[in-house]
Structure 1
């Protein structure tokens, strides 16, 4: 699937002096706080990381709170979809005017009626909503179906 990329990064993590005896634990906790959140520095959502502290001597920052910076080298797995990328997701909700999809188990996407191919017609059968292809009757989109779609924005 497009949108996933592995990136090498050199980062500086700022650690409070109270964590000076457990620096590696503090660094991992800080990186863990970035998981599954969009970060402008990475231009995507951090999904996983592998980090190594490369500089054992930290620089103390002057100011009210004397944090110290720890330099790390990390390999990051990022989710960063761009327009015209092909993504795959699981249908979680259907309406006559939209298909709601979850990508990678955490990112939500909506495919509106103007983007659903004209060959698909919305139907309700036995109380279950679905989109059925007019050309191929066995092509059905319903809750639980995996679909591929292009990112518009």
Structure 2
């Protein structure tokens, strides 16, 4: 699934002096408080982390409460769905005018009627709501179905996704995967006609550095970039 990114980052976590005897525990607590929230510095929603303390020597900050900074090297897994990315989610609710799904177990997604292609017709079968393809009755979407859809927009504050089932390569993942060969052949023919190059990817899992910057985390849960890096100095 697209939208996932694995990154390497250098961090400095500021710890209250009262936590000096339990530094590792304080660091994990601080990082855990950032999970499943969007952070502009990380360029996405933090899903997981793996940290390694680089130095046992802490930098003490002057002030009424002299916090001390601990340098870490961390591997971060983030999620940032952007327009036209392909995502997958589990349908949790259907209505005549919309579909509702959950992505990665925490982000909600909605696909409204105008973003559901005409191929799908809403029906109630045996007391269950379902969208059935007019072209192939085996292609059905109901509660519990894993769907593949296109991202239209993403609300970073509430982690809400607006999606679309208009493209032909969207719909029930189970049905699409069984007919992957047919879709690949049709896609190849389309590319030959249009003269386009490249191939459509179903999964993207990138590994990238976070601009080589050191990120600073304070216990008030604000993340700041190094002032030296922001000013353009190396």
The TM-score with structure 1 as length reference comes to: 0.96
1:89 paired to 2:89 = yes
Unmatched 5+ residue regions in structure 2? 154-234
**1-structure distance, mates of 2:129, 2:65:** 57
The CA deviation string for residues 83-127 of structure 1, in whole angstroms up to 9 with x for no partner, is: 111000100000111110101111111011111111001111222
Cα separation, 1, equivalents of 2:114 and 2:11: 43
Measured after TM superposition, the shift of residue 55 of structure 1 is 2.1
Q: How many residues align?
A: 153
SS at match of 1:6: strand
CA deviations over 1:34-56 (Å, ceiling 9, x no partner): 11222221121111111011122
* Runs (5+) with no aligned partner, structure 1: none
Aligned to 1:15: 15
SS of equivalent to 1:18: helix
Q: What's the CA shift string for 1:18-41, capped at 9, x where partnerless?
A: 111111111111111111222221
Match of 1:42, SS state, is coil
Q: Deviation digits for residues 48-72 of structure 1, max 9, x if unmatched?
A: 1110111221111112221111111
**Which deviates the most, 99-108 or 123-132?**
123-132
- Separation in 1 of the partners of 2:80 and 2:64? 36
Aligned positions of 1:43-122 closer than 5 A: 43-122=43-122
- TM-score calculated relative to the size of structure 2: 0.64
Structure with bigger strand share is 1
* RMSD of aligned residue pairs (Cα, Å): 1.0
Counterpart CA distance in 1 for 2:57 and 2:19 is: 15
SS in 1 for 2:56: coil
* Structure with the larger helix share: 2
Structure 1 stretch displaced more, 79-88 or 60-69: 60-69
